[in-house]
Amino acid sequence: MDSPAALAVALASVVAVLYIAAIAYAIVQIARTRDLSEVEKALWMIAVVFAPLLGALVWYLAGPHPFGLRLTHKVR
């Protein structure tokens, strides 16, 4: 295998692993959130599984805590 092809395969492998890791992370975060009902969690997971790139991206940008930040304070 020549060098450019090997580099392309290595780069594609890294991208694939990162892609799968991002989807797995989104699913774990959906499962762990306490701000959603079970039905909402199921719908989010379906979105991530059937439209992985779009579903995970929307979850990260618009989920209950975008980028892991809590945007509201709960009043007791």
Residue 74 in any domain: the answer is no
**pTM strictly above 0.85:** no
Q: What is the pLDDT of residue 9?
A: 92
Q: Which H or E run contains 36? A: none
12-20's contacts with Cβ under 8 Å and 24+ in sequence apart are: 19/52, 19/53
Q: What is the pLDDT of residue 40?
A: 86
Q: Letter for the amino acid at 69?
A: L
Residue 40 in any domain: the answer is yes
Q: What is the pLDDT of residue 74?
A: 55
Residue 71: pLDDT over 60: no
Residue 25 in any domain: the answer is yes
Residue 30 in any domain: the answer is yes
In terms of Cα–Cα distance, which of 41, 46, 37 is closest to 29? 41
Residue 12 in any domain: the answer is yes
Q: Domain range holding 32? A: 3-68
The count of C-alpha atoms lying within 13 angstroms of the C-alpha of 66, restricted to the half-sphere facing its C-beta, is 6
Total structural domains in the chain?
A: 1
In terms of Cα–Cα distance, which of 64, 42, 66, 44 is closest to 54? 44
pLDDT, tens digit, for every residue of 8-63? 999 999 999 988 998 898 899 889 988 888 998 898 889 888 888 888 888 878 77
Residue 73 in any domain: the answer is no
Q: What is the pLDDT of residue 69?
A: 53
